[in-house]
Structure 1
Amino acid sequence: MKRILYINTLCLLGLLLFPSCNQDAEVAHEAGEEHAEEHTAEHEEEQDPNIAELTEEQYRVAGIGLGKPEMRQLGNTLTVTGELDLPPQNMASVSAPLGGFVKSTDLLEGMHVRKGQLLAKIENADFVMLQQDYLEAKSNLDFLELEHQRQKELSDEQVTSAKTFQQTTAEYRAAKAQVEGLAERLRLIGVNPASLQAGGISRILPIHSPIEGYVTYINANIGQYVNPTDVLFRIADTEHLHVELTVFEKDVAALQKGQLVRYSLPNETVANHRATVYLIGKEISEDRTVQVHAHMEEEDKDLVPGMYVQAQVALEGQQVLALPEAAVVQDNGSDFVFIYMGEEKEGEAVMKQFRMVPVERGVEGGGYVQVALPAELDTAAANFVTKGAYSLLAKMRNAGEGHHH
C-alpha cells in the first residue's frame, strides 16, 4: 500500500513539475504541420504547369507582344497578290520639249519637289531661234496693228481704196496668227511670252515640275544630249496610293465592289492594312488575269509605288472574336493562349507572369484565327500575348523538365 501511494505521488509531482514539456511538444508538432502545409502549397505553386515566368531581360529577348482580341470578319477568303500603284493623274514623266544639252540639275532619286520647282536647265540653239522669231513677229504685229488702224480711218473717210484697206487687214490678221502660234509654242515648252518680252532672249530652257511629289526616276546628267522624246525625270505624288490586285479570271466572278481587302506589305506577317474593292477590270490579260483596283482606308504617302502586297479578299463570313495566328500555340494536341498576369518581385528580380489558357480554334483568314475563350475570362480587361507565345511555351516546358525535388 505504501508502494502504491509512493508511485502515485511521483506521477502527480511529474505532472505538476513538467506541464510545459507537453505543451512545447504539441506546439512543435502543430508548427511542423503548418510548415509542411506551406511547403506543400509553395511546391504546388512552383509545379503549376500553366504558369510561365520571365525576367525583364528574357521578356525583351523573347520579343513578347501584348494585345487584345478583336472582332473580325473571317470566313471564305480569296488570296491574291498585287502592288501599290498610283492613278495616272498622280504621276508625271518630264522631258525636254525641244531637246538639247543638260546644263544643270540638282535632283536625286527620292527627293521631294514642289509643283513648278526648277528641275533642270537645257541648252539649245533652237530655243534661241524660237524666241527670236516670236519677238520679230510681235514687233511686226505692233506695226501692222497701227497700220491697220490708220487704213481703217482712211477707208472710213474714203481717202484710200477699199482694196488697200483689205490688204492691210489680211496682213495684220496673218501677223497676229503668227504671233499667237509662236506664243503657244513658247507656252508648250514652259515659257511665258510676257516674261520673254521683259527679260530678253536666253539660250537656257528651264524644266519645271508639273506636279508635287517625289522623284522616282532620273535619266539626266550634265553635258548629256537629250531628245524631246527622252524621259528625264519621273515624279510621283504618293498622296493617293491604291492597291492594284491581280486576280485570275476563274475568281473574278466572286468579286464585287465594296468587298473588304486585308493586305500586308513586304516583311509583314499579318495583314493589318485594309482596303475596299472599288473597280474590277473588264479586260483579261495574256496570262488570264484581271486587274482589280482597291482604295486604301488609311493612305500613307511614305509608302513607295510598286511595293509588293499579299492580300485576302473577304468573300463572305461573319464577325467573330479573333487573335493573330501567332498568339495561339499547340501543346499535346490542344490549343492554348497566354494571358499576362502582371509582375511579381522575387528578391532583387522582377518576374513577369503568364498563364496558359485553353481555347478552341475556329475559322482562319488574313493572319487571324477565331478563338473561343473560357466564359469566366474577361476579354476586355485581359492582355493576351500576341507575339512570342511559342517562346513562352518553350520556357515553361524547359522549366518543368529541369525542376526536381
Structure 2
Amino acid sequence: MKILLNNLFSIGLLLFIAACSNKKETDNTQAEIAPAIVTNEVVLSAEQSKTADIQFGAIQNRILSATVKVNGMLDVPPQNKVSVVAVMGGILKQTSLLQGLKVKKGQVIAVMQHPDYIQLQQDYLDHKSQLTFLTAEYERQEALAKEQVNAQKTLQQASSAFQSMKARVQGLRQRLQLLNINMSTLEKGNIQNTINLYAPITGYVTKVNVNIGSYVDPTNVMFEIVDTEHLHAELTVFENDIPNIKIGQKVRFTLANENEERMATVYLIGREISDNRTVNIHCHLDKEDKQLLPGMYLKALVETGSLEKPALPEKAIVDYQGNKYIFISEKAQHFDMIAIKTGVTESGFTEVTLPESFNKKNYKVVFNGAYDLLAKLKNTAEEE
C-alpha cells in the first residue's frame, strides 16, 4: 500500500508540472501573437484635446478624377534623333564635339581624310574628260548616219560608249556629292584631300563614339545628335487598362526625385501588345522644357474621367501597419479608430470607402489631429 501511494504521488506531481509548463507555453504564445494595439478607442481630457488641436469635419462627396497609374520615360520622335555616320570609310582628322554640346544644322562637326577620296575625284575628272570625247564622237557619228555615210553599227557603238560613260560620270558625281565634295571647285581641277561632315539637325550631342586618328567604317555611328525641343512622354500601360485610355486625355506626371507635377496629353495609342502584356502610349508635353532630357524616367496618372466620390482631407487619414484608418467621435473626448479603404487623391482630398455599418449622421470625423490620436493609442497599448 505504501509503495502504491508513493507511485500515485509521483504521477500527480508530474501531471502538475506538465500542466504548469503547458500553461506557460500558452501564455508565451499569446504574448507573441498579441497585436500592438488591443483597443481602437482613445479617450482624451479636455486639455489634451485642446493641445492636439482636434478639429472635426464631415465626409462629403467631391468630384475626383478617375486615373490610371502608369510608368514611362521621356523620349524624342525618330526624326529628332540622328546618328551621324561616314558615307565612305576614312580616318577622323578633326572634331570638337563633346557630349552636351549644342550644334546647329549645317555646322561642320568633323573632318575626314583618306586616299580613296582623292582617287574618287581623280576617277570623276578622268571619266568626265572621256565623256566629253565620247559625246563629240557620238554626235559626229549621228550626223554621218543621217547622211548615210557610216554604218548603223558604228553609230550604235558610239551611242553605247557615250551612254555608258555618261552613267559612270553621273554615278561618280552622286557619290562625291554624298561626300560633300564641292563639285564646282573639283571641275576646275582642284582636288580635296579631306571631306567635311555637317550636322544634319540642330540639337545637342548625346554620344561621341570616335576619337581623332581612328578609322571609321560606314557602319560605325560616330555621333548622335538629339533635338530636345519636341520631347514626348512614352508611357507603358497594361492591357487591362487600355480600354480606359482615349486620345486627348490629360496626363499628370512627375520625374524621379522631383515633386513638381507636369502635364501632357495622350496623342497616340499603340496597336500592338508586347510580350509583357503592355501597350505604349505616346503623349505630347503641354509645356516644353529645355532642361528635360531623353531617357528620364517618370511616373504618371492618366485622367480617364471624373466621378463624384466620398472624400476626406489627406491629413484625416492615418497609415498604421500598412492599413488606412480614420478617427471618429460620437461624444466629446472619445474617439474610435476605424479601418477604411482609399482611392484617388486629388487637390488634397482622397476618395474613401467606409464600412457598411458606418453612419455619417451619427459620427464626426477627425480632420486635424489624427496622428496625435494614433500616437496616444500606441502609447496606451504599450502601457497595457
AA matched with 2:64: L
Q: Give 1:274-285 correspondences, 5 Å limit.
A: 274-285=263-274
Corresponding letter in the other structure for 1:277: V
Q: 1:146 Cα shift?
A: 1.9
Deviation at 1:213, TM superposition (A): 1.0
Deviates more, 1:204-213 or 1:81-90: 204-213
Structure 2: 5+ residue stretches without partners = 1-49, 54-61, 319-325, 328-341, 351-367, 373-384
Distance 2:153 2:316 in 1: 101
Give the equivalent residue in structure 2 for 1:316.
Answer: 305
CA distance in 1 between counterparts of 2:90 and 2:127 reads 24
- Hey, what's the Cα distance between the residues in 1 that align with 2:151 and 2:201? 55
**What residue number does 1:257 align with?**
247
Give the corresponding residue for 1:179. 169
Quick one: distance in 2 between partners of 1:282 and 1:236? 26
Contact 2:265–2:283 (Cα < 8 Å) also in 1: yes
Once residues 316 and 129 of structure 1 are traced to their aligned partners in structure 2, the CA distance between those partners, rounded to angstroms, is 67
Give the letter for the 1:368 counterpart.
Answer: S
Q: TM-score by structure 2 length?
A: 0.64
Task: Write the mapping of 1:4-403 to structure 2, written as runs, cut at 5 A.
Answer: 74-198=64-188, 200-270=190-260, 272-317=261-306, 364-365=344-345, 368-370=347-349
Q: 1:252 to 1:154 in 2, by over 3 A?
A: same
Aligned-pair distance for 1:369?
2.5
Highest CA radius of gyration, 1 or 2? 1
Paired with 1:369 and 1:257, the residues of 2 have a C-alpha distance of 27
Q: Structure 1 residues 126, 232: CA separation in 2 closer, same or farther (over 3 Å shift)? A: same
1:292-311: per-residue Cα shift (whole Å, max 9, x none)? Answer: 11111112233211111111
SS at 1:295 equivalent:
strand
SS at match of 1:232: strand
Mapped to 2, the partners of 1:73 and 1:176 lie a distance apart of 75
Change (3 A) 1:258 1:175: same
Q: Displacement of 1:87 after TM fit?
A: 0.9
One-letter amino acid of the counterpart of residue 275, structure 1: A
Query: Once superposed, what is the RMSD of the aligned Cα atoms?
Result: 3.4
| TM-score (structure 1 length as normaliser) | 0.61
Taking a change above 3 Å as real, the CA distance of residues 182 and 305 of structure 1, as seen in their structure-2 partners, is same
Deviation at 1:156, TM superposition (A): 2.2
User: Quick check: 217-226 or 200-209, which moved more?
Assistant: 200-209
Cα distance between partner residues in 2 of 1:125 and 1:90? 34
Structure 1: state its 5+ residue gaps: 1-46, 51-71, 335-361, 372-389, 395-405
How big is the shift at 1:101?
1.4
Identity %: 46
1:199 is displaced (CA, Å) by 6.3
Q: Contact (CA 8 Å) 1:75, 1:363: kept in 2 or not?
A: no
Distance 1:170 1:267, change over 3 A: same
The answer to which of 279-288 and 169-178 deviates more is 279-288
SS at structure 2 position matched to 1:283: coil
